[in-house]
Structure 1
């Protein structure tokens, strides 16, 4: 068994590593948010994004606290852009319940999906892929679902659409959310496998 000094040293190393990962992935998120057509990709009235990928990767390799912290940075960049680079739907993202909360949840959900699948299958790549897909869908469904709950009528008027808001938002989730989820799954699996295997050497 480890003595108290060894345990404290190990815990300190873990904390330093986690802070380093948070700093690096947060920096990646901030840089992505500042590069046009990379972090946020305009597709008509909505924006596709790969900003959730660093959040998911952080959660998978270092746990839910790291994932939530990087997700917070993602959410804050979204909130910031809503005020500094407004579009017709930015009023939705000026509300932190929409711009921040779902992004914090991405890392938490992705971590527990990863650990659950890994316990069942013992396969890092498969676990990473599913965690990436579910984490991405957490973002899409969380954001669009909250827009529907809080701003459905105003959102539909802003984008010039008539008809059922639920059907339109569901269509957006499918058209944007599914490709984003597949990309997130592939990237998460590839990076997670590489980093987890490296950490075991």
Structure 2
């Protein structure tokens, strides 16, 4: 990789990180509060970064989002659950990093195997979104089967798993659909421009 290509890659990564920061701090742009939950659109940005720049850079962008989520859980919680569960970096940071790795590597494999770029982008977006939702909810259930967390979901501890599965089926489904549509719409033109500039 030439010096010019490194500068271009670093610049684009910085732009993605700036978008993540903007989405995280501007109300309703990246996180849409809904009762005790917070529906996110930031996973789309992470998936696009992973597709355009690769899984490692996607993990860096996702990790940035995770760190912001972790810090906000202490100083400006986005939902009543945040100070209960997102103060644990395994719940707030690790799943965000995994979005970039999973979406990036899956896109690479699918695009080489199928040759259909947009389809590969859509599938990578869906699986990246599912990675985030599945890991966050799964880790909440693993670490936080407590009355306080169950009460935040409006159930008792015995029904916490059911509540998490309902969230996975409802909110998770909305995020999956959004990712399936938005990721290829954004990633394809950005990737084309990036490839053309890299060839110059």
Q: Does the pair score TM above 0.5? A: yes
Q: Which residue of 2 aligns with 1:89?
A: 81
Q: Which residue of 2 aligns with 1:31?
A: 22
Aligned mate of 1:118, from 111, 119, 127: 111
Instruction: Find the aligned partners of 1:144 and 1:52 in 2 and give their Cα distance.
Output: 15
TM-score after normalising by structure 2? 0.90
Instruction: Find the aligned partners of 2:165 and 2:41 in 1 and give their Cα distance.
Output: 20
Aligned mate of 2:163, from 127, 150, 168: 168
What is the RMSD computed on CA atoms of the aligned residues?
1.4
Aligned mate of 1:151, from 141, 144, 148: 144
Structure 2 counterparts to residues 3-14 of structure 1, below 5 A: 10-14=1-5
Larger-gyration structure (1/2): 1
Structure 2 counterparts to residues 176-195 of structure 1, below 5 A: 176-195=171-190
TM-score after normalising by structure 1? 0.90
Structure 1: gaps (5+ residues): 1-9
Runs of 4+ in 1 over 4 A off after TM superposition: none
Structure 2: gaps (5+ residues): none
Question: Offset of 1:55 from its aligned partner?
Answer: 0.8
Instruction: Find the aligned partners of 1:199 and 1:177 in 2 and give their Cα distance.
Output: 31
- Between the two proteins, the alignment pairs up a number of residues equal to 192
Question: Offset of 1:62 from its aligned partner?
Answer: 0.7
